[in-house]
Amino acid sequence: MKRIAKKLVFAFDGIEPPDGFLKFLKEEKPGGVILFERNVAGLGHLRKLTAKIHSASPESLIMIDEEGGAKSRLRRGFPNPPDPRKIASEDIHELYRIAGEALAELGIDVDLAPVVDVAPPEHILGDRAFSDDAETCAESAAAAIAGLLSAGIIPCAKHFPGLGSASIDPHIAVSVAEEDADFADKHFIPFRAAIQAGVPAIMTTHLVAKSLDSTGEIATFSRTMIDILRNDLGFSGTILSDDLFMGGAGRFDIVERAFRALSAGHDMVLLCSEIAEPRDFIEALDRRFRNSR
């Protein structure tokens, strides 16, 4: 049970974790807890909240999406960088270092950033991407990662294998790469740079890229895609799934999604909607593994 719990990142609703959730954290010590705007009533409140979570389970990593600009979970009083596309290249390291130091002071362990997808301004990612030029994305990603690492924050590069190639938002439905012959050559460049910069974690997304996995499986459930990240790109850090409650991963119930993502080789999976009985979820997932081939 605890072995599986270490691979799961849970969420909760409201600005205070329910007593049952805190008890669950203390007893099962899951891999992480992810926070959203719905959990934050101000920076002072956030500081107390992270202390409460860490007190219940010091081993659980507290995660947040703090990319800068519009994709920010924290607003008033937080040194939120501008939208990534709008940051001058020479300012990236310093802005992410400042944001990282503020996150660390607030008790955050992991920033699920930066976005390293190669995407134009009109893409579904909008200004969350640094550029539509792969080399610019690579340089920007490396600078952002270095800034966060220097502040003691764990960064996470996303969304592998490259969401900039798709036109469908994976929050809504499965994304399909609009591929050309140089898909990997183009979209892997920033991920290679992130790995070279020492990024400890990479997040996959609910994307079909048939030039990489001819079965048409989404990266979330694709052993082939994880093998590419491990063997071809040489990444030895932690691989996270994107939120398994997204529409793009919705072919199966949530236990089956977690089972398939972990079976594909993910080290941790994100469960960004509240699960009423997380212990029951873990037990069901444990049964699914024991009953599998």
User: Tens-of-pLDDT digits for all 293 residues of the chain?
Assistant: 679 999 999 999 999 999 999 999 999 999 999 999 999 999 999 999 999 999 999 999 999 999 999 899 998 899 999 999 999 999 999 999 999 999 999 999 999 999 999 999 999 999 999 999 999 999 999 999 999 999 999 999 999 999 998 989 999 999 899 876 678 999 999 999 999 999 999 999 999 999 999 999 999 999 999 999 999 999 999 999 999 999 999 889 999 999 999 999 999 999 999 999 999 999 999 999 999 86
Class of CATH domain 2-291: alpha beta
Query: CB under 8 Å to 15, separation ≥6 — which residues?
Result: 38, 39, 40, 41, 45, 49
Structure tokens at 56: 């219940």
Residue in the structure block whose two tokens are 């990479």: 202
For position 181, what pLDDT does the model report?
Answer: 66
Catalytic, out of 171, 227, 267, 286: 171
Which residue type occupies 105?
Answer: E
Query: CB under 8 Å to 244, separation ≥6 — which residues?
Result: 220, 254, 257, 258, 261, 269, 270, 271, 272
**Strand intervals (E) in the chain:** 8-10, 32-35, 61-64, 66-68, 71-72, 110-111, 154-160, 175-176, 201-204, 207-208, 238-243, 268-270
What DSSP line would sit under 210-241, residue for residue?
TTT-TT--BGGG-HHHHHIIIIIS---SEEEE
Tell me if residue 242 is catalytic.
Answer: yes
Tell me if residue 280 is catalytic.
Answer: no
For position 179, what pLDDT does the model report?
Answer: 74
Catalytic, out of 65, 83, 109, 242: 242
DSSP H helices in 29-79: 43-56
CA distances in angstroms from 99 to 60, 69, 225, listed in the order given: 21, 12, 32
Structure tokens at 129: 């991407």
Structure letter (DSSP) for residue 12: -
- Provide the 3-class DSSP secondary structure of residue 131: strand
What's the predicted TM-score (pTM) here? Answer: 0.96
Q: Where are the domains of the chain?
A: 2-291
- Provide the 3-class DSSP secondary structure of residue 10: strand
Assess contact for 158 and 203: CB atoms under 8 A: yes
